[in-house]
Structure 1
């Protein structure tokens, strides 16, 4: 899974050639730990069409603020430099995929 920082966010997400699912997370967030293996599975199954990445919100608050993220975990799906879907909170894999259906 791609680890994002303030330094690489614009290049790796906004200028990406395929959709990027970004998890905004924090070390202290139990739901973030619960969703991590689900995101790894999604990446393994759909990595040819989708990049899965994570950004530590505590370490990069300027990016969190830029996208109006109010809680962790928040998943933003970016396409062509824009957020096309935002999912707040941990969900089972099938619910996440249903929320993203048709977008990548």
Structure 2
């Protein structure tokens, strides 16, 4: 199951949930997921190679998402560590934060 379909379904009131609706959401999400990937492959193949600096695009995306996450979640060690140092270190700080919250 795609996480978007689960999130939408879980946020619905119990009366509005059904197997048919979940299946339709799953198909729609899978279609845009795979379709977007295929479109990206086609557009990427059409680009002249190599494009200088393109390898930095993914890193830049996560660095630009940091202020939005910081604004939503507030300052936290993993919000800074994750985009800068990667998921393993971000998860390490999250574990420390969760452990310290519940050790009272």
The TM-score normalised by the length of structure 2 is 0.26
Structure (1 or 2) with the larger CA radius of gyration: 2
Larger RCO (CA within 8 A; separation ≥ 6): 1
Q: Flag the structure with higher helix content.
A: 2
TM-score when normalising by structure 1? 0.26
